[in-house]
Structure formats: structure tokens, C-alpha cells
Structure 1
Amino acid sequence: MISSQDTVLLIIDVQGKLAQIVYESAAVEQNISKLVRAAKILGVPVLYTEQYPKGLGHTVAPLETLLAEEEPFEKIAFSCCADEGFMEALRKLKRNEVLVTGMETHVCVYQTANELIDYGYNVHLITDAVSSRMKENRDLGIHCIEKAGAFLKSTEMVIFELLRVAEGDAFKAIAKIIKE
């Protein structure tokens, strides 16, 4: 089981027009938003990337607002791990559990998850917080990431795993997020 002390949330390339045309885009964005808000309550660091923002645009406005305190890692390689600044930031956190979300599942998410696993990180793919333009590519990406060694989880599953108990201020705040 993961804990808020050993986990980081990674959001990969939820940007521009692509974010609007992926399979189940509204649900994916809503789940990522829930994860970000829960992470902030529970003290889980958030890292996020943007693939070639000059061409693909920046992170979608609702998420960009939630992530205003963070700086995105701009990248041109599909895998986040190819960006030395990203890897340096991840290593500095000294957390081995990585919650992976974003777009597109069969490209950037897939390549990042595989490299993180190769580097010894435990990858938790949040299946209702990833997508691709085509459902088939999303499903294939999820399958291949699982075969590589990732744990498949849902947004609610991860939030409650991080929370652990149904009491206190954190629980009350997160219960409101879950009900949305």
C-alpha cells in the first residue's frame, strides 16, 4: 500500500486541443483534478509535464489553475524520464511510488511508465485518469503498462489508499472532492 509520505503524483501532457479530443476527456480531466486536490490536502507532491507546448498548447486551464504553485517540465521526448530536469526533481523527492496520469496512454504515458519501472520506481497507473484519442490505443497502453509491472488503480482507490482513515479534517475535505 502507498502512503502520502512515499508517493508523488505525475500528470503527463494534459494540454491544449488534444485534451479535448481524447476518449472520455471530461471524466479524465475531472479525475486528475480530484487527484491534485487530494494530493494537496495530503501533502503529496505533484509533478507535471507539457509536450512541446509551443505546438500543442499549455496544460488545460482548470488543471493549470490548480497547479499554479508548480512549474511544468517542458519536454520534446515522449518519455518524461528523458528530461534531466524532471528526473532531478523526481529524485530529490526521494519517493518511490509514482501515481501516473495523463495523455496519451499509448505514447508518453506508456514510455514514461516503462522507464520509471526500469529505474526502480513503483508505478501506479490511474486507469480512469489516462486517455488517448482512440479507446483502443488507451486500452492497449494500459495493458502494456500493466505487463511491464505497473499496478492498475482508479482515482478513488488511490485517494482512499493515501487517506487510510475515515476521520479528521482531511477525510472531510476529501469526502467533498469524491462526491463531485
Structure 2
Amino acid sequence: MAALSRASRIRNPALFICDIQEKFRGIYEFPKLISTTSKMLRAASNLQMPVYITTQNRAKLGNTVSELQPHLVGPHIRADIDKTLFSMITPEIEAKLPSDLDVIIVGIETHICVTQTTLDLLARGHRVYILADGVSSMNPEERGIALSRLRDAGAIVTSSESVLFEILRDANHEQFRAVSGLVKETKEDTKGALGAFSKI
């Protein structure tokens, strides 16, 4: 696959939900991570955007958290895979992953599973968008170090609201009302998440 320009617009988005599990509730600003992820999952449903979900060793660390479970149904959910690899790019995910997807990532931990997933996606020629208001680590200082490294590696670090409006492109989009309404509904949660997470 030809190298993709980081300056290009998002074109064929998919959402990756990385290891947002019950045993990780002690992660830095976990409730804000949940609010951003919930918003993205609701938008993905409206937009019928493919969603890929992983858990890390589910038997020990628990399922994807209960707050997100209502949003993990529908034909746009392409995979819900348990793994031991730190990267989400398991053989099962790779088999379901079209080569032309631009991947949006939320989840934990920024410096471990999010980092390794991003590096594997970039190596396979995907453009990767990491939502600064949607990734966290146990130690908050790890986030900035990881995001700087991933930006240098070729990932795009952006925000949930920015990427949603980039996907819409036009106020005439058939899902504009639904997604812009969701953005308005969650504006205080988004403001809180950006306040906590934008210092990178």
C-alpha cells in the first residue's frame, strides 16, 4: 500500500475501542474516558461506522465496562475479541480489517496497548487518528510521552469533536442532525475531558 499523507482528510473511518475494562477503573480520569468513548460509539451507530473492540485477558481483567455495553450491538460492530497481545492487531482482528480503513482509537493504556496498536496499524499502511480526549494511562505523565512518540511515528492526534465533524464534512450529511445533536448534548462532558486530557 502506498504511504498515506498525514495531511489528508479522513476517508473511510473505523473506531477501535482498546481494552476499556472493569479492572482498569483506577486509570487516570477514567469517567472522562468513558464519556468520550460513549459519544464516539453513539456516533458510530448513527454513521454505521465499523467498530472493533478488544479486551485484555478478559477472564482476569473483566469485560468491557458496563457503561459501554448498550452501545456494543448492531451490524457495525465488526469484532469483539479477547487477547493477550498488547496490540489490538491480533490475527482475528487483522482478518476482519479492510486495508483501506482510517482508524480512530480510544482506550487504554496510551503508552502500552494504544501505542502498540497504532504502530502496527501504521506499519500496515493505515492512517491512525488518536483521540486525545479518549485515551488514558494509570500514570497521566505516560500519555504525553506516548502521544508525542506516536505523532512522530505518523499518527494524527486530534479530538473527538474534530474527527466527528471531519467525517460529516457537510451540514447536508444525512446524519448531521443526529451527530451535531450528540455533540451538543455531550458538550459539558467533552469540555471536561479536554480539560483533563489536552495537556499532552
User: What residue is the counterpart of 2:177 in the other structure?
Assistant: 172
Q: Give the match for residue 16 of structure 2.
A: 10
- Distance in 2 (CA, whole Å) between partners of 1:21 and 1:163 is 34
What displacement does 1:168 show? 5.6
Give yes or no for the alignment of 1:62 onto 2:67: yes
The equivalences for 1:81-160 within 5 A come to 81=89, 83-91=90-98, 94-160=99-165
2-side partners of 1:157 and 1:109: how far apart?
Answer: 20
Q: Distance in 1 between matches of 2:126 and 2:58?
A: 27
User: How much has 1:176 moved relative to structure 2?
Assistant: 2.0
Q: Given the superposition, is the C-alpha separation of residues 37 and 95 from structure 1 closer, same or farther in structure 2, using an over 3 Å criterion?
A: farther
Greater Cα offset, 67-76 or 118-127: 67-76
SS in 1 for 2:54: strand
Separation in 2 of the partners of 1:146 and 1:152?
A: 7
Query: How many Å apart are 1:7 and its aligned residue?
Result: 1.2
Q: Tell me the CA shift for residue 68 of structure 1.
A: 2.6
The residue matched to 2:67 in structure 1 has which SS?
helix
User: 1:44 maps to which residue?
Assistant: 49
**Identity between Structure 1 and Structure 2 (%):** 34
RMSD: 1.4
CA–CA distance in structure 2, aligned partners of residues 68 and 61 of structure 1: 13
Q: TM-score scaled by structure 2? A: 0.82
1:80 and 1:108 in contact (8 A); partners too: yes
Question: How far is 1:77 from its partner?
Answer: 0.7
Unaligned runs of 5+ in 2: 1-8, 187-200
Higher helix share: 1
SS, match of residue 114 in structure 2 = helix
Of residues 77, 86, 92, the one that matches 1:78 is 86
**For the residues of structure 2 that align with 1:99 and 1:163, how far apart are their CA atoms?**
15
Task: Give distance in 2, aligned partners of 1:80 and 1:34.
Answer: 21
Moved over 3 A (4+): none
Matched residues in 2 for 1:168 and 1:142: separation?
Answer: 31
- The letter for the 2-side match of 1:67 is L
**Cα distance, 1:43 vs structure 2:** 2.1
Work out the CA distance in 2 between the residues paired with 1:99 and 1:49.
Answer: 14
**Distance in 2 (alpha carbons) for counterparts of 1:161 and 1:86:** 25
| Count of matched residue pairs | 174
Q: Do the aligned partners of 1:8 and 1:95 also contact (CA within 8 Å) in 2? A: no
Alpha-carbon shift at residue 95 of structure 1 (Å): 3.1
Alpha-carbon displacement from aligned partner over 1:50-108 (angstroms, at most 9, x marks no partner): 11000100001121220133351110010112x100111113xx433111111000000
Question: Shift of the alpha carbon at 1:116?
Answer: 0.7
